[in-house]
Structure 1
């Protein structure tokens, strides 16, 4: 793990909680009874853990601990191999485990600097403390967990390092072209691929190889974070039309003529939706309703940029 940390004494205590179900001290995983056999629980939660401490260490070394981070949030510690590696690095760790069985196992390890919480990460609520995230994410719920992390905002999530199915990582880094998920998050985050691990490195052995997905907030944004939902609704509406070219898709989504819109954005009507880059989507979004005083120059909307913000460091 690269270290950009301050002295431990300078870091306030972590304040983050998982809210349990009413009337229970712990949230019970949906559809899984407390006495369910381990094999069934592994299948339900897609539990595939590192076989060796060495591989777990190689994975955790990819994470950068930022000086502003108050803690490392590990999603789904499972058997605790990744948690143990993180603990040895000396940074405060909050490990959120949905399976009560593995929560108790990891907690019993008594690892220093580690707080183990039992609950669903999708219901986990950090306070205002910025953090870095890491985890061997379940194949079945990986997208939901990733989206949950991104929704915390680039102010809170300083970096994330996730182990995910290799094909899924390829989609996130754009190897197969553009897609709705990436386009919706491009103004604020970048996705990069890290170290790959063969499926034989895990127990039980999963059906596919895995790779590391890096999530890095952008230093500057060209769409204000407060406009996130409006921007994402716009991108989703265009993709949901199912049309390949942006001219037809935009016209269908807007239910009217969009030639002037495309001219302001400087995007050819025949361009394929999946081939549009981050700046194209930003220009299209801004050109739909240019800010006061905006003017066009060379097909691009001037005055649209600079409406974003700089990520807090």
Structure 2
């Protein structure tokens, strides 16, 4: 007989005050900042965020929890939105995210937060499943989508969070995942997407072969060396952060090459 899954939604309520303090210390919300909390639950983290003076938008799918949050924070700078965190409309103004994500929603949530270049995400401090965080923070991501996230954002694990920090306790540990945007020119983004698509389509190709399709004048070797990568190296072995540097270098190289050809 098949045993039903325990807590299949992956919802585990945060109860450890030390972990909450660590999230706030990392996020450093100021008075007036817009902070999105995804999956607010009973409001333990919501209360801590409201205490900073930030403008908190608490998203909670469960109707009973949402009603309790509205009553509890009726006179605080907290807006409660009853919606699914995977579908809720995200702000178009600068905002940060501090959240204890249900483990089952990690990929879908990161896809929304990090996959839309139109969002003005100032940073995110998230509690996610430990293995998921380890996969996200690999120097060389396993797929083009994750590489795109890691190239546009710095992703690091601040700490391991034990199961005892939650109720009910999950079967595995969690991680405090820190997300911060890299300083990238908007002209760099389409080049970055094109480079990553090429690299992950043919990971066994030399990096210079991938770059040669985007850099005129046979400058692929010089471009690779300018970002600290010594050919020969395969495209599939290049760290995500290096792709961001390469894309920026391609953007700079293109107008310079055109100027030389005109002169």
Q: Which residue of 2 aligns with 1:27?
A: none
Unaligned runs of 5+ in 2: 259-263
Q: Which residue of 2 aligns with 1:240?
A: 201
**1:143 Cα deviation from its structure 2 partner:** 2.0
For the 8 Å contact 2:187–2:251, the answer to whether it is kept is no
Within the alignment, does 1:90 sit opposite 2:39 as a pair?
no
| Residue 289 to residue 119, structure 1, CA distance change in 2 (3 Å) | same
Distance 1:204 1:246 in 2: 49
For the 8 Å contact 1:59–1:195, the answer to whether it is kept is no
Q: How many residues align?
A: 246
Q: Which residue of 2 aligns with 1:117?
A: 81
Q: Which residue of 2 aligns with 1:170?
A: 134
Within the alignment, does 1:43 sit opposite 2:22 as a pair?
no
**1:169 Cα deviation from its structure 2 partner:** 1.9
**1:161 Cα deviation from its structure 2 partner:** 0.5
Q: Which residue of 1 aligns with 2:261?
A: none
Q: The residue matched to 2:254 in structure 1 has which SS?
A: coil
Distance 2:95 2:34 in 1: 5
Q: Which residue of 2 aligns with 1:157?
A: 121
For the 8 Å contact 1:154–1:188, the answer to whether it is kept is no
| Residue 293 to residue 168, structure 1, CA distance change in 2 (3 Å) | same
For the 8 Å contact 2:97–2:125, the answer to whether it is kept is yes
Residues 207-216 or 56-65, more deviating? 56-65
Distance 2:5 2:134 in 1: 29
**1:125 Cα deviation from its structure 2 partner:** 2.8
Instruction: Judging by fraction of residues, say which structure has more helix.
Output: 2
Within the alignment, does 1:225 sit opposite 2:186 as a pair?
yes
For the aligned residue pairs, the C-alpha RMSD in angstroms reads 3.6
Q: Which residue of 2 aligns with 1:263?
A: 221
Q: Which residue of 1 aligns with 2:236?
A: 273
Within the alignment, does 1:211 sit opposite 2:175 as a pair?
yes
| Residue 108 to residue 204, structure 1, CA distance change in 2 (3 Å) | same
Distance 2:209 2:171 in 1: 36
Residues 262-271 or 188-197, more deviating? 262-271
Q: Which residue of 2 aligns with 1:104?
A: 67
Distance 1:271 1:199 in 2: 39
Distance 1:71 1:133 in 2: 9
